[in-house]
Amino acid sequence: MTRVEFFDQDGRITGFSCSGHSGYAEEGSDIVCASVSTAVKLAECTINDVLGERAKTRVKEDEARISLTLPATCENEEAVQAVLTGMMLTLCSLRDEYPDYIEVLEVSKDA
pTM: 0.93
Query: Residue 92 phi/psi, 5° resolution?
Result: -65, -40
**What pLDDT score does 111 carry?**
57
Would you say 30 and 108 are in contact if contact means Cβ atoms under 8 Å apart? no
- Tens of pLDDT, residues 44-98: 999 999 999 999 999 998 888 999 999 999 999 999 999 999 999 999 999 999 9
Burial 49-80 (b: 16+ CB within 10 A, else e): eebebebeeeeeeeeeebbbebeeebeeeeeb
The dihedrals phi and psi of 32, each to the nearest 5 degrees, come to -70, -50
Percent of the chain scored above 90 by pLDDT? Answer: 91
Q: pLDDT (tens digit, 9 = 90+) per residue, 14-46? A: 999 999 999 999 988 999 999 999 999 999 999
Going along the chain, which residue ranges are E strands? 2-9, 12-19, 56-60, 65-69, 102-108
